Structure 1
Amino acid sequence: MTLEFGKTIDEDVVEQILSTLPPKSLKRFQCVSNRWHALITTPRFVAKHLSISRHNNLSTSVLMKRKVHEDTNSDETQEFFSFLHFRNDEDNDVDGVHDEHSFLSSIQEFHIPFSTGVKTWAEALIIIGHCNGIICLAQAVSGEVIICNPAIHEYKLLPPSPYLPDSDWPYSAIFRFRDGLGFGYDPNFNEYKIVNIGFPAPELSTPDGYNIYNPPKAAVYTLGTDAWRKIKTDTLETETTILWPQIFQMHFKDMCFWLAPEQHKELDVLDEDEEQFIREVIVMFDTGDELFHNIMLPDEFDYPSKNYFVPNLLVWKDSVALLGIQISQFSSYGIWVIDEFGGHNGGAWTKHITFELPVEPLIFWKSDRVLLNDPNDTDYRGLILDYNLDTKKLKNLPVQSERSDSSAIVYVSSIVSVLGGSKPKNKDNSTPNAEFSVFEYPSPLVSHYMVDKKTYSYSMWAIPSDDASLRIKKVMEGLRTEFGGPEIDPHIAVVGSIRMKHEDMLNKFRSLQSDVISSYKAKVNQVVTRSSYFQCISLLIHSSFEVSPELYFATGVSGGRFHFCNEVRPHLSLLYGYLTEEERKKAQEKVSYLDEGLSSLSFFITRLALYKIDYKDRSLKSWEKIADYPLQFE
């Protein structure tokens, strides 16, 4: 670059100066010359600009969705998306005069073209997540997904996903569309991805009084292809339970995070209100290998020692963390940080701090600073407050919102395009990875822990007598010959998805020998088919006290020993697999052809066994029996 007086500036210096400018300025400077336009739009420059923006220690931006009543006598509200720009220095004295708002440098509203202003709850836009300056939003009822980069005023409406279940879900539409969405970045291929997890409608109140829940389905959208693909959800299902990823929490490094209740696949209608969910876990989606993983919460969040619940996950001091609320005192909070992945519960957690908050938190915008927004009828209702955990100072910000629909994210500005800007290509037309990756990760990556360390759960099985097992195995072999699938040892899962320390679990299993002593009879009710992998074709076992009192007792005692409030509905699976509805019907008919009397078979349970199970291994070769004991014949 040549200046007046014959002086020049090196191109590297020009690039360095430009890379520190805000996106709005860079959009203008693209018009200065073709050379500057070419420079600013290269993936290398975009990545460099983002890296500088991410490491900016002078200020922090928070994007907040606010809802304000236009008229105190009306339910209609105005929806605003506002940027709150904070100074990170702690000097709040301006010209020697204290100003409690001086650390809030500016408030900036931005308009989304797809937003129409006044909103009912059903029309509102919801912030799903943020990554590298790109924001993902969804409309509550229609499920339309929007991605945008407000810093450069780019917006994109995504095509609908063709792979998710039909919208005949009996619960509220806002639950159906919003909860399964997630947004993240794949650094290996420099791709932005939206994950959508759909929940097939359950079969409610069956003739025998059960609600049957089906495993979730999922699809992923890739910005580079502008298309959806169906992906596997194998690890969101165990023998007896399913995981329900709920409202998306965050993207961190190359992982998407949800909180997810775990529940039995089949629940007695009379018991469901008492205890529908077994536990809450964290579900993660690896944007690289596109697989789901899950880890347990700390012991304080699980029964029998539960005394906290989780409102949300957060990134705290560059680590995955939990914000917990004490059940007995709603003003008392704690933060747990995960130290490593793996182990009996999938991760090792350390509690770092506890603190009191005057009202409910909205978001941590620094490790020691939190925005508050109280939904209750208190003096703080509708106010946005800043609270310093160290000094315990509370400041009222000049912005308001009704908390019932407020949300906020920490935002990093960038010039990353959502409209399919050019990407560098290798000679083989593949997308390069590390050189143009916009994320710089410390080693090791989160996902490497998950790939290298298996997370096991345990299952307690009731084993049929030898003669019954031999008869059932012949039917299993006939089904596998036609439909495929792994070889299964005949069993009924009495308690599934046990997640606790190995020694504690063994002690509880051994203690059952003093309670469940005698062999007991199991009677087949019917041959059933399910859309789930582990109950594809199975024998449904009578479980009522009237028909099978000994089985009813053994199942209840075993479940209670492992802190399960609801008993597993007993099935003996004949075939594992994903079959179409037509194939399942054909397989069901073949069971009758192979053994006509199997649908009314009665047999004895002669042994209880404990198995260690890696549900990612669909070959079952790694499934391992770790303890068992025989039941006595009376």
Structure 2
Amino acid sequence: MASLGIFPEEVMIEILSELPPESLLRFKCVNKSWHALINDPKFGTKHYSNSRRRKHVFLWCPPIDTEINNFSFLKLPLSLNSSVSFFDTDFPLNEDFRSVEILGHSHGLICLTRRRCDIYLWNPLTREFRKLPPSIILLTDPPDSDRCSSFTRAVGFGYDSKSMDFKVVRVVSFVKLKPEIYYSSRVEIYDLSKDRWREIKSPFLGNRFWTPSFKMCHEGTCYWWGLSEECTGTLETFNMSDEVFGQIPIPEDFDVMADRYKCLGVFNGSIVLFPYPYKGYDRMLFNVWEMEKDEYGGVSWSKILTIGSIFGIEKGWLIVNSDGLFMEVNEGRLIFYNDTKSGRLKLPTSCFATLFEKSLISVKGGNNVTYEF
């Protein structure tokens, strides 16, 4: 690599890796050496490791009356009781945004789907966007009464620290329409480094996954809301490294059928969940539950927080470390809550929100690139 400046190359790399990613995107125009360095996947992982302590909340407000998508990165800790400034960007799925669903995020990359068929990876900071190769197990022929139909039952996205790669897992169900008969599901995995799908062996998953169901990936494990054969609530899991499914019971007091609206998040490094009432219900209290694992892999739940009284909750979004709980109420007002303070952020319309760490990581697949964080 050509010289990066008056400093030794390793010194310049250290300096640049500490800078905000927005600055680095501008610095790509300085010269070819800087452009090559900033595009280098190894530099991208180094920069992410240095910058991940700078947390943000990513807001995406899909268009309603216009074709413009609005985005914002809110730096933590939040400045409450204020308005949010947005920027717009070209979004390839603008014309069909109502069928777009966010599937998850990891290391600055967002995974989304259109009609639960096409899957995309997107870095909203660098504005890179790409469609993944077609599924290798979804049936392409239109369904009829005498043949099987296939549909995506569940999708998860996350980082595998063992293979140092990003993965997408898709569960595909097969059903005969008349009479209605469900057959064994099949599972495929997409590896970003190889840019291709592969099928894996899986247990009989039946009708366990709810749709829409994917909630998040935490420490290499994907989590979905599920329902057991006894109609009790569960968390369905998939370990990205071992590529094994699991099932975790949820608290007995957590009525999965009555509390339709549910949120799953992370609080101080632990999985937490809470139900919240239907929009328009009267003010009421609700509980936050924390998952605890013992040394033998067993799971238990403890009630750590009771919240209330809040009226008109539309979305319970996320738990942001120890900062608090975020909820959307009354069409575009973002409520922040913890046990010491509360406040509001004014949004132009209903938004999707998630805890986010900016990165330069590319969504371009192939070339057997590894991502060591």
- Tell me which of 27, 30, 33 is aligned to 1:29: 27
Report the CA distance shift for 1:309/1:87 in structure 2 as closer, same or farther (over 3 A): same
- Tell me which of 314, 328, 343 is aligned to 1:373: 328
Report the CA distance shift for 1:322/1:312 in structure 2 as closer, same or farther (over 3 A): same
Q: Distance in 2 between matches of 1:259 and 1:152?
A: 32
Q: Distance in 2 between matches of 1:353 and 1:191?
A: 36
Q: Distance in 1 between matches of 2:182 and 2:16?
A: 55
- Name the structure 2 match of 1:62: 58
- Name the structure 2 match of 1:136: 111
Report the CA distance shift for 1:396/1:65 in structure 2 as closer, same or farther (over 3 A): closer
Q: Distance in 1 between matches of 2:269 and 2:21?
A: 25
Matched, 1:315 2:266: yes
Q: Distance in 2 between matches of 1:15 and 1:309?
A: 50
- Tell me which of 128, 149, 156 is aligned to 1:154: 128
Q: Distance in 2 between matches of 1:313 and 1:397?
A: 24
Written as runs of structure 1 = structure 2, the 5 A alignment for 1:60-209 is: 60-68=56-64, 70=65, 80-88=69-77, 100-101=81-82, 104=84, 106-116=85-95, 121=98, 124-140=99-115, 143-165=117-139, 168=143, 176-177=151-152, 179-202=153-176, 205=179
How far did residue 255 of structure 1 move? 1.1
Structure 1 residue identity aligned to 2:287 = G
How far did residue 88 of structure 1 move? 1.0
Structure 2 residue identity aligned to 1:136 = C
- Name the structure 2 match of 1:233: 202
Written as runs of structure 1 = structure 2, the 5 A alignment for 1:464-503 is: none
Q: Say if 2:335 and 2:343, in contact at 8 Å, map to a contact too.
A: yes
Matched, 1:332 2:285: yes
Structure holding more helix per residue: 1
Q: Say if 1:115 and 1:125, in contact at 8 Å, map to a contact too.
A: no
**3-state SS of paired residue (2:190):** strand
Q: Distance in 2 between matches of 1:233 and 1:421?
A: 25
How far did residue 422 of structure 1 move? 5.4
Written as runs of structure 1 = structure 2, the 5 A alignment for 1:280-319 is: 280-301=233-254, 311-319=262-270
**3-state SS of paired residue (1:160):** coil
How far did residue 116 of structure 1 move? 2.4
**3-state SS of paired residue (1:419):** coil
**3-state SS of paired residue (2:45):** helix
Report the CA distance shift for 1:136/1:225 in structure 2 as closer, same or farther (over 3 A): same
- Deviation digits for residues 236-291 of structure 1 (CA, Å, limit 9, x no counterpart): 25xxxx5225421001111111111223xxxxxxxxxxxxx612211111111212
Q: Say if 1:63 and 1:410, in contact at 8 Å, map to a contact too.
A: no
Report the CA distance shift for 1:362/1:110 in structure 2 as closer, same or farther (over 3 A): farther
- Name the structure 1 match of 2:14: 16
Structure 1 residue identity aligned to 2:372 = S
How far did residue 297 of structure 1 move? 0.7
Q: Distance in 2 between matches of 1:28 and 1:151?
A: 12
**3-state SS of paired residue (2:183):** coil
Higher relative contact order (CA 8 A, sep 6+): 2
**3-state SS of paired residue (1:373):** strand
Structure 2 residue identity aligned to 1:292 = F
- Deviation digits for residues 426-460 of structure 1 (CA, Å, limit 9, x no counterpart): xxxxx6xxxx522xxxxxxxxxxxxxxxxxxxxxx
**3-state SS of paired residue (2:169):** strand
Matched, 1:390 2:339: yes
**3-state SS of paired residue (2:318):** strand
Q: Say if 2:164 and 2:372, in contact at 8 Å, map to a contact too.
A: yes
Structure 1 residue identity aligned to 2:136 = P
Q: Distance in 2 between matches of 1:180 and 1:107?
A: 31
Report the CA distance shift for 1:383/1:128 in structure 2 as closer, same or farther (over 3 A): same
Structure 2 residue identity aligned to 1:355 = I
Report the CA distance shift for 1:289/1:279 in structure 2 as closer, same or farther (over 3 A): same
**3-state SS of paired residue (2:133):** coil
- Deviation digits for residues 41-94 of structure 1 (CA, Å, limit 9, x no counterpart): 3443212211223211xx5232324353x2xxxxxx75735224234166x6xx
Report the CA distance shift for 1:316/1:67 in structure 2 as closer, same or farther (over 3 A): farther
**3-state SS of paired residue (1:400):** coil
How far did residue 197 of structure 1 move? 1.2
Q: Distance in 2 between matches of 1:301 and 1:437?
A: 38
Q: Distance in 2 between matches of 1:280 and 1:150?
A: 34
How far did residue 365 of structure 1 move? 5.7
Q: Say if 1:196 and 1:219, in contact at 8 Å, map to a contact too.
A: yes
- Name the structure 2 match of 1:580: none
Q: Distance in 1 between matches of 2:61 and 2:184?
A: 32
How far did residue 12 of structure 1 move? 4.0
Report the CA distance shift for 1:310/1:214 in structure 2 as closer, same or farther (over 3 A): farther
Calculate the TM-score normalised by the size of structure 2: 0.82
Q: Say if 1:146 and 1:157, in contact at 8 Å, map to a contact too.
A: yes
Report the CA distance shift for 1:219/1:64 in structure 2 as closer, same or farther (over 3 A): same
How far did residue 156 of structure 1 move? 0.9
How far did residue 14 of structure 1 move? 2.3
- Deviation digits for residues 205-225 of structure 1 (CA, Å, limit 9, x no counterpart): 5xxxxx543332221111222
Q: Distance in 2 between matches of 1:217 and 1:2?
A: 50
- Deviation digits for residues 349-392 of structure 1 (CA, Å, limit 9, x no counterpart): 22211101333233236344444334xxxxx3x22223333355
- Name the structure 2 match of 1:442: none
How far did residue 414 of structure 1 move? 0.6
Aligned length: 360
How far did residue 310 of structure 1 move? 6.0
Calculate the TM-score normalised by the size of structure 1: 0.51
- Tell me which of 354, 367, 372 is aligned to 1:409: 354
Gaps of 5+ in 1: 71-76, 93-99, 206-210, 264-276, 375-379, 425-430, 439-634
How far did residue 407 of structure 1 move? 3.0
Q: Say if 2:155 and 2:171, in contact at 8 Å, map to a contact too.
A: yes
- Name the structure 2 match of 1:363: 317
Matched, 1:214 2:167: no
Q: Say if 2:282 and 2:311, in contact at 8 Å, map to a contact too.
A: no
Q: Share of identical aligned residues, percent? A: 27
Q: Say if 1:285 and 1:293, in contact at 8 Å, map to a contact too.
A: yes
- Name the structure 2 match of 1:534: none
Q: Say if 1:232 and 1:291, in contact at 8 Å, map to a contact too.
A: no
Gaps of 5+ in 2: none
Written as runs of structure 1 = structure 2, the 5 A alignment for 1:33-48 is: 33-48=31-46
- Deviation digits for residues 487-539 of structure 1 (CA, Å, limit 9, x no counterpart): xxxxxxxxxxxxxxxxxxxxxxxxxxxxxxxxxxxxxxxxxxxxxxxxxxxxx
